Amino acid sequence: LPLGDYLRNNGLVEEKEMISCYAELFNLPIIETITEKMADPDVLSRIPLKFLRDQIVIPVKQDDTILLVTSQPSDFQPLDELNLLLGGNTKIGVATRPHIIDAINRYYPLEGTK
């Protein structure tokens, strides 16, 4: 169990505090809101829904850059896999798990997924 999960699960730290710490530690932007404009269906349809839900990560477009939004930036493997799958040159942002899950549920294109 990662330290962040342990701290969260035992009520020792709030989700927003963890995200702020990760943002400062890794010098990453905090993504407060994931909008429909950011959620590109073409990008999302390249990744299995199960992967996004299991890893609690969502790729979004921001200023012509693909941003991998995660609540666990220290979990490098899924971020590396997504970066490769999306052709490289992605950046990382952090958001709370509820924000990411809500965005996945709201914007994942259920029709036409590969």
Average pLDDT of the chain, as a whole number: 91
- 30 SS3 class: strand
pLDDT in tens, 64-107: 899 999 999 999 999 999 999 999 999 999 999 999 999 999 99
**Quick one: which of 2, 50, 90 has its CA closest to 71?**
2
What is the reported pLDDT for 111? 56
Confidence (pLDDT) at 112: 47
Give the pLDDT confidence of 54-71 residue by residue, as tens digits: 999 999 999 889 999 999
Helices (H), ranges, 1-114: 3-9, 15-26, 41-44, 49-55, 76-85, 97-107
